[in-house]
Amino acid sequence: MKDFKKYFKITAAPKDVYNALTNKFMLEIWTGEAAVMEEVPGTEFSLWNGSICGKNLEFVKDQKIVQEWYFGEQEEPSIVTIKLHQDKNGTSMEVKHTNIPDEAFDNIAEGWTEDYFNAINELFEE
């Protein structure tokens, strides 16, 4: 199992980034695919038409999102914590993803940059 941690700079306010990560309709706009999301702890979520699935664990409005991502029958949960910090140019998004299966690590690490960060940045640069 491996862990991933990285900071991304986004040219939008934390409240706007939070909305893009928690609002089903905003998720569908920047991912371009179907999403299932409720800003309610204990609910299941699905992104990219089911490519990423899991459970929402915690929400702190405009500041923090904690989710469990599913990787088959994995014993220890894979936990994603996203913290949004006000930055002089917008938001610093801290992503910490723990217990990633070794065989999925490279794909997940690339996905955080390519699929999440780049797509969110494009949303706010338009």
At residue 73, does pLDDT exceed 80? no
Per-residue pLDDT tens digits for 17-30: 999 999 999 999 99
CB atoms within 10 A of CB 86: 12
Burial of 25 (0-12, 13-18, 19+ CB in 10 A): exposed
Q: Any idea which residue has 């993803």 for tokens?
A: 97
pTM, two decimals, is 0.93
pLDDT of residue 51: 87
Structure tokens at 115: 């699929």
Phi-psi region of 91 (alpha: psi -120 to 50; beta: other; left: phi over 0): beta
At residue 74, does pLDDT exceed 80? no
* β-bridge pairing 64-69 and 78-87: antiparallel
Which architecture characterizes domain 2-125 according to CATH?
2-Layer Sandwich (3.30)
Using pLDDT thresholds of 50, 70 and 90, give the confidence band for residue 126: low
Alpha-carbon gap, residue 45 to 77, rounded angstroms: 15
Per-residue pLDDT tens digits for 101-122: 898 899 999 999 988 898 999 9
